[in-house]
Amino acid sequence: MASHAARVDADADGVPNSTDNCSVRPNPAQSDVDADGVGDACEGDIDADGDFDQDDVDLFNKVFGRSIGDPAFDPSADIDGDSRITFVDYQRLVALVTPPPAAASSSRACGLLGIEPLLPVALALRRIARNRKRSV
């Protein structure tokens, strides 16, 4: 019975729950950059249910401002790994809970960031040029 429990691997990443540093999200590499015992894949998943949502935010509110060594400190809320739960961690948690819109991320991927405000100008100039051609 005990040996079966030791072999349970809930996220099927090849690492049994008993030694998995993030047992609810697959992370076969077990990456833990800040070495706080919480796998990078689980940073921000404060309620350890495998997703990032308002429940995590509600728990974050209860541990904000805590530092390592404080009994209320929760390493999964210390997303930037600086041993203190601050506004930077909140910003990162909010980004996990509300991922950026696909359109915005694709425009960034195309290297258009910073040029977007000029697009209406280009379109307007093109339209003016077309109207002139038609009138000629």
Partner 1 sequence: MNRALRDLLISAALGVGVVAESGATTIVTVNGPSSPVAVGDTFQITLTADFSAPVLGWGLDLTFDPALVSVVGTPTVDSSWTAVFSPDGDGLVGLAPITGVSGSGVLLATVTLQLLAPGNAVIGVSVTPGDLAEGFPLLPSGFDTIQFNAFTVPLPEPRGLVLLGAAVLTFGRRKLVRNRQ
Binding site for partner 1 (CB under 8 A): 54, 57, 61-67, 72, 82, 84, 86-88, 90-91, 94-95, 97-98, 100, 117-121, 123-125, 127-128, 131
Smallest gap from residue 9 Cβ to partner 1 (A)? 32
Q: Are 63 and 73 in contact (CB under 8 A)?
A: yes
- List Cα–Cα distances, 55 to 23, 100, 134, in angstroms: 18, 19, 59
Smallest gap from residue 106 Cβ to partner 1 (A)? 17
Smallest gap from residue 22 Cβ to partner 1 (A)? 23
Q: Are 77 and 89 in contact (CB under 8 A)?
A: yes
Q: Are 57 and 97 in contact (CB under 8 A)?
A: yes
- CB of 21 or CB of 84, closer to partner 1: 84
Smallest gap from residue 21 Cβ to partner 1 (A)? 25
- CB of 7 or CB of 127, closer to partner 1: 127
Question: What is the residue whose two structure tokens read 């258009």?
Answer: 112
Provide the residue type at 136 as one letter.
Answer: V
